[in-house]
Amino acid sequence: MTIKIKRYIYTVSAAFAVMLPLSCQKGFLDQRDSSNPTEQSLFDKPADGIALVNAIYDTYQNADLMKKSLWYYANFQTHDFFNWGNDRFYNTYSIPATFGAIQVFWQRAYIGIARANSALPIIAKMKDNGILTEALANRLTGEIYFLRGMTYYYLAASFGGVPLELTTGVNDGLRPRSSQDEVFAQVESDLKQAVNLLPWREEYEASELGRATKGAALGYLGGAQMWLKKYSEALASFNQIEGKYSLLPNFIDVHEYDKENNAESLFEVQFIVAGTQSWGGSNEVAWIGSFGMPEEVSNFGYDYANKGLYDGFQAGDLRKVATVIGPGDENPSPGIKARGGIKSYPLVIAGFNSTDAATKLKYTGTDGKIINTCGTIARPWVGSDNTQLRSGYYNEKMWRDPTLNGNSGDGTIFGAQNQILLRYAEVLLSKAECQIRTGDAAGGLTTLKRVRDRAFGGSAPATFISEGKTITDPLQMVYHEYRHELSGEYSTFYNLRRAGVATAFIQEVYNVTIPTGRELYPIPQYEIGLNQNLTQNPGY
């Protein structure tokens, strides 16, 4: 059984957890408790160094950052998904600079970076003092470089250029923005360090599964090199991963609740059951799954899919039902089937047994029995308002946790399902793009076929069809595969922007124009107020 990474809450990691803007902080790790212990008493055993690094992982154990910052950007920006809650400005690319989630993103990212910067010299000193073995110190240092590099990766990919804070004690938070390329150059440097220091996944003890690995570092390194248009170097990075990971035979299994940290996963954020269903509870549980389930099942339904995504898959592509389901579709997840399917949810049962005719009809299937599909074609599940503004189509990749009932039944809103940030299929698609860009179109198509063969259950059609159109250009094939393989996860729009085609691609697929400058997030207005050297992104 996987034992997921847990945080140690004591004096030092508690100091780490102070959630104040970095702009107001200077070396906040370098603190003492009320008894004024010496530094040696704080870091005098290996567990102290491990706890120090564990606190950096905590950056990502936050639903606002994962869902409202990274997931929204990766999926709402593509127009494959829309928001129904308070954040509908994503639907029109009108994200305000005062939006709380981007402030959370920026704040947590820079606190995580400050934790990393502070941890580097402490781990080095613990190694010099013989507290840490060379092997453990190297691994922990590799984890630090990986987490700092990955965090800058997402900052630059989302905001463009951001301030580079790389040292301890002088992090006054008043630096101007470095360019996007400068940030990715730093990401490349950090991840090269991580590659040299981290073990492969199989070299970890089972209890350490979920930590950063050499494979994860190589995956993000290749991505950073692609942002810098170093396609040959990126290809070399991706090639080192070959033989270390594999595609799961069945696509439906990739996101299953009981298949976390599987052979395809390079890095995923670890969530654990913390025994709480409180909004003020631990970061180790999240509402990410509940909020995307239909209102008719969860009382939420705050994001929903574009029917165009549903219709855009090629006939026979098994990823369709494993990505987005709609009217008349059963939930294909083995875990949801095991709990009894859609008909097992408390709201569905109550609705079918209702004495109100309209309510009962909504929860009645075409066979006259309790419904076991995501609405029906005649009566799609579009929410209680019935305005038809919601599409009736939903993200199947996030509807996998059989323990969740949302705001119904026992009120299990918060789940512990891990969130995959990078997996082998994405590495293969990125590798294919690099091969094509470096003149090896045939090799790129061969790599692409590995992903598509799995998608079609063994052998993909020779003709590539997307959005009902035949695609013959190899790079366009890759772009469409990013969408069909990764929509509903954390990567699609990032990959399209990295390739320099985001605006053109969305225009082609949906006839929607992204306003100039709106491919990027705005810099949080609060941060600009704290740091007069920050400038806003053009277009905001």
**What proportion of the chain, given as a percentage, has pLDDT over 90?**
85
- What pLDDT does residue 11 have? 31
The residue written with tokens 């998608």 in the block is 455
| pLDDT tens profile 264-295 | 999 999 988 766 777 765 567 889 999 999 99
- What pLDDT does residue 276 have? 74
| Burial degree of 355 (CB within 10 A; 0-12, 13-18, 19+) | exposed
Q: Is residue 197's pLDDT more than 90?
A: yes
| pLDDT tens profile 219-253 | 999 999 999 999 999 999 999 999 999 999 999 99
DSSP strand pairing (419-423 vs 265-269): antiparallel
Kindly indicate the confidence band of residue 167, based on its pLDDT and cuts at 50, 70 and 90: confident
Cβ contact 376:342 at 8 Å: no
- What pLDDT does residue 272 have? 82
Report residue 458 as tokens.
């063994």
> Apex CA 292: angle with CA 291 and CA 293, to 5°?
95
- What pLDDT does residue 464 have? 98
Q: Is residue 334's pLDDT more than 90?
A: yes
Q: What is the 3-state secondary structure (H, E, C) of 110-131?
A: HHHHHHHHHHHHHHHHHHHCCC
Q: Is residue 20's pLDDT more than 50?
A: no
Q: Is residue 208's pLDDT more than 50?
A: yes
Q: Is residue 15's pLDDT more than 60?
A: no
**What proportion of the chain, given as a percentage, has pLDDT over 70?**
90
Maximum alpha-carbon separation in the chain: 75
Cβ contact 407:357 at 8 Å: no
- Number of helices (H) and strands (E) in the chain: give both, helices first: 23, 8
- What pLDDT does residue 85 have? 87
Residue with more model confidence, 85 or 240: 240
What's the rounded mean pLDDT across residues 530-535?
94
Query: What are the φ/ψ torsions at residue 333 (nearest 5 degrees)?
Result: -60, 125
Say which amino acid occupies 5.
I
Lowest model confidence (mean pLDDT) among 37-41, 173-177, 197-201, 372-376: 37-41
- What pLDDT does residue 14 have? 34
- What pLDDT does residue 24 have? 29
Kindly indicate the confidence band of residue 170, based on its pLDDT and cuts at 50, 70 and 90: low
Q: How far is CA 307 from CA 29, 81, 394, 511, in A?
A: 48, 9, 9, 14
Three-state DSSP state, 15: helix
Q: Is residue 309's pLDDT more than 60?
A: yes
- What pLDDT does residue 169 have? 64
Kindly indicate the confidence band of residue 12, based on its pLDDT and cuts at 50, 70 and 90: very low
- What pLDDT does residue 275 have? 65
- What pLDDT does residue 273 have? 72
User: How far apart, in whole angstroms, are the C-alpha atoms of residue 475 and residue 497?
Assistant: 14
Report residue 150 as tokens.
């990955």
- What pLDDT does residue 13 have? 37
Three-state DSSP state, 79: coil
What DSSP letter does each residue of 257-320 carry, written as one string?
A: TT-TT-TTEEEEE-----S---TTS-TTSBSHHHHHS-HHHHS---EEE-HHHHHHSPTT-THH
Q: For the chain, what is the mean pLDDT?
A: 90
385-409 burial by CB neighbour count: b if 16+ within 10 A, else e? Answer: eeeeebbbbbbbbbbbbbebbbebe
- What pLDDT does residue 33 have? 35
Which residue in 476, 469, 468, 465 sits closest to 505, CA to CA?
476
- What pLDDT does residue 280 have? 64
User: How far apart, in whole angstroms, are the C-alpha atoms of residue 322 and residue 365?
Assistant: 21
What's the rounded mean pLDDT across residues 419-444?
98
Kindly indicate the confidence band of residue 31, based on its pLDDT and cuts at 50, 70 and 90: very low
Q: Is residue 139's pLDDT more than 70?
A: yes
Helix-helix angle 134-159:180-197, to 10 degrees: 160
| pLDDT tens profile 393-428 | 999 999 999 999 999 999 999 999 999 999 999 999
- What pLDDT does residue 159 have? 98
Confidence (pTM): 0.92
User: How far apart, in whole angstroms, are the C-alpha atoms of residue 313 and residue 533?
Assistant: 46
The alpha carbons of the chain give a radius of gyration, in whole angstroms, of 23
Neighbouring residues of 51: CB distance < 8 A, sequence distance ≥ 6: 7, 8, 10, 12, 13
- What pLDDT does residue 9 have? 27
